[in-house]
Structure 1
Amino acid sequence: MIKLLTSADAMLYREIRLEALAAHPEAYSSTLAREQGKPLAWFEERLTTSDVFGAYCAQELVGVAGFRRVDGAKTEHKAVLWGIYVRPQARKSGTGRRLADAVAAHAATRVEQLQLAVVSENEAALRLYAAVGFVEYGREVKALKQDGRYYDEILMALHFGGQGS
């Protein structure tokens, strides 16, 4: 089951978010050190300022994915898919696809374009996003630096309509 998380889900969200940052530090622009010290209220606020979807299996939160609209009069037609993570026990079950599809369906009624950035070495994520319909439009070289190592990010977009799509 996929559902939109609310501030009441902040404790569960905090737990899975910190797990994601610990397990795959190269995949996120934030760090475990930055977020693990944040109070629960910080995670509650995050769930009210972004639309974060949760995937549940037998009452357990096993995956998350965020949607955030881009601010600005000339960029409000775009949004970002961010922070997607699926716990190891739920991988290869379609959970990631259901989360990405849920965010895309949500975005399709709100914006013309959904964008994301994914570490170039994350082949499973690249396959998932391509299957959902995302198309690569660029590459940011040395986008992230983790423990002295650089990671490129592939920039991808999913277009829903409007002029120029």
Structure 2
Amino acid sequence: MTPPPHAASPAIRLLTPADAERYRAIRLEALATHPEAFTSTLEREREKPLAWFEERLAASDVFGAFIAGELVGTAGFRREDGAKTAHRAVLWGMYVRPQARKSGMGRLLADAVAAHAASRVEQLHLVVVSENLPALRLYKAAGFAEYGRGVKALKQNGRYSDEIMMALFFGEGGTSRPR
């Protein structure tokens, strides 16, 4: 008898181009079910070939959360590349499937990206739609602090949403990450 998915030990790892098909499926699901939470759109990414997702995984640090071998969450890490901004990175594309929410999987993903960032940059930034209260709670619990608001930053179907800008500082670039 197979244990239920929530009973299996979760695993977090960097995704590779070999994960492109699973990544594409969860990414399109995220864009379809929560279009307000992402700057990209389902219409834009649905038309992309699998090779586009393979390239994205080859060129990016995208973490996957797995339960019983099933990809149930993703979060990306992208370092800024400008001479004056290379000390910063962005956490992007965070999504956890409904069946894995409230299981601690989101926190595991946020912590994995933060640990990855801590040895590479001084600051980890993110933006989150102001109405996404569960995500705001998660990021605050993971040590991120709000530093600004993008008023009417996103517009979809004639409706505006504000974005909350948050940051987590490491080492000499700011305060240490709270635990």
TM-score (norm 2): 0.91
Confirm whether residue 149 of structure 1 aligns to residue 163 of structure 2: no
Deviation at 1:164, TM superposition (A): 5.0
Q: Which residue of 1 aligns with 2:70?
A: 60
Alignment of 1:81-120 (within 5 A): 81-120=91-130
The 3 A distance-change label for structure 1 pair 163 and 95 is: closer
Q: How many residues align?
A: 165
Letter in 2 for 1:7: P
Q: Which residue of 2 aligns with 1:37?
A: 47
Q: Distance in 1 between matches of 2:12 and 2:174?
A: 31
Whole-Å Cα distance in 2 between the matches of residues 112 and 163 of structure 1? Answer: 5
Describe how 1:116-131 pairs up with structure 2 within 5 A.
116-131=126-141
Residue 34 of structure 2 is aligned to residue 28 of structure 1:
no
1:163 Cα deviation after fit: 4.2
CA distance in 1, matches of 2:51, 2:173: 40
Among 157, 161, 165, the alignment partner of 2:171 is 161
> How many percent of aligned residue pairs carry the same amino acid?
76
Structure 2, unaligned runs of 5 or more: 1-10
Runs of 4+ in 1 over 6 A off after TM superposition: none
The question of whether the paired residues in 1 share the 8 Å contact of 2:80 and 2:86 is answered with yes
Aligned counterparts, 1:66-85, within 5 A: 66-85=76-95
Task: State the Cα deviation string for residues 106-134 of structure 1 (Å, max 9, x = none).
Answer: 00000000000000010000000000000
Instruction: Give the CA RMSD over aligned residues.
Output: 0.8
TM-score normalised by structure 1 residue count: 0.98
- Larger mean CA deviation between 30-39 and 139-148 belongs to 139-148
- Structure 2 counterpart SS, 1:121: coil
State the 1:48 CA deviation: 1.6
Q: Over alpha carbons, which structure has the higher Rg?
A: 2
